Amino acid sequence: MNQQIPAVRLERISRSFSEGNRERCVLRELDLSIVAGEIIALRGRSGSGKSTLLNLISGIDVADSGVIEVAGKDLINMRERDRTLFRRAHIGFVYQAFNLVPTLTVADNVRLVLELNGISRKDADIRVTHLLEIVNLTDRGDSFPDVLSGGEQQRVAIARAIAHEPALLLADEPTGNLDGRTAADVLHLLFAVVRKVGGSMIIATHSAEVAARCDRVLELRDGRLSV
């Protein structure tokens, strides 16, 4: 019987950064395997390396050593352009700061990732309409980000992150800039969308409530992961 390819496989991943005259090791020979459809909470104090780890898994950053595979593809040995194209096609990212393009409308922010993946304008328009329905923003497609509330902006960011139906969604403190009620609504939407499409998600969070909703909780401490 063929074994299922892990959604994410990390083996002996290390990453250090230069700080003045010394090297600071953020991740130390870290191992991790995530199965398809699994939702992982990544916890740890500020500065523990959660964002660094997500950036490595997405291919935004490159590890000093080790193996990183997403859907069976080796990211570390890819050329930078190939990593960019792979990330664009297979990975979605939701940031704490929303990171919407301020000069683009809501619809165009969501449409952008589809156009970058070569989807025709007609098909992209159909997909954008559907996505805005999913995140309950059908009446805001022509609005610009600066007139939206924080919760609305994060819902746009979620629509953008799932527009290309990625196999892996990475969320870095996605409710960190939201009030309690709005955060709860955004989290409900995020989990519902991921469960519906059957994708995998790693969500970096300080919240015990968020962690409790995940399939597995991992703690990043002293550069290593623990259950």
For the stretch 69-79, pLDDT in tens is: 999 999 999 99
Torsion of CA 216, 217, 221, 223, to 10 degrees: 30
The residue length of the chain stands at: 227
CB of 109 closer than 8 Å to CB of 183? no
Burial class (CB in 10 A: 0-12, 13-18, 19+), 70: buried
Domains assigned to the chain: 38-62+80-226 (3.40.50.300)
Pair of tokens at residue 199: 């994708």
pLDDT recorded at residue 3: 56
For the stretch 1-35, pLDDT in tens is: 345 788 999 999 999 998 888 889 999 999 999 99
For the stretch 28-61, pLDDT in tens is: 999 999 999 999 999 999 889 999 999 999 999 9
Main-chain dihedrals φ then ψ at residue 115, nearest 5 degrees: -65, -35
How distant, in Å, are the alpha carbons of 116, 122, 135, 176, 219 from that of 112?
6, 13, 17, 25, 34
All residues at 6 or more sequence positions from 216 whose CB lies less than 8 Å from its CB, including other chains:
38, 39, 40, 41, 227
All residues at 6 or more sequence positions from 138 whose CB lies less than 8 Å from its CB, including other chains:
129, 132
pTM of the entire predicted model: 0.91
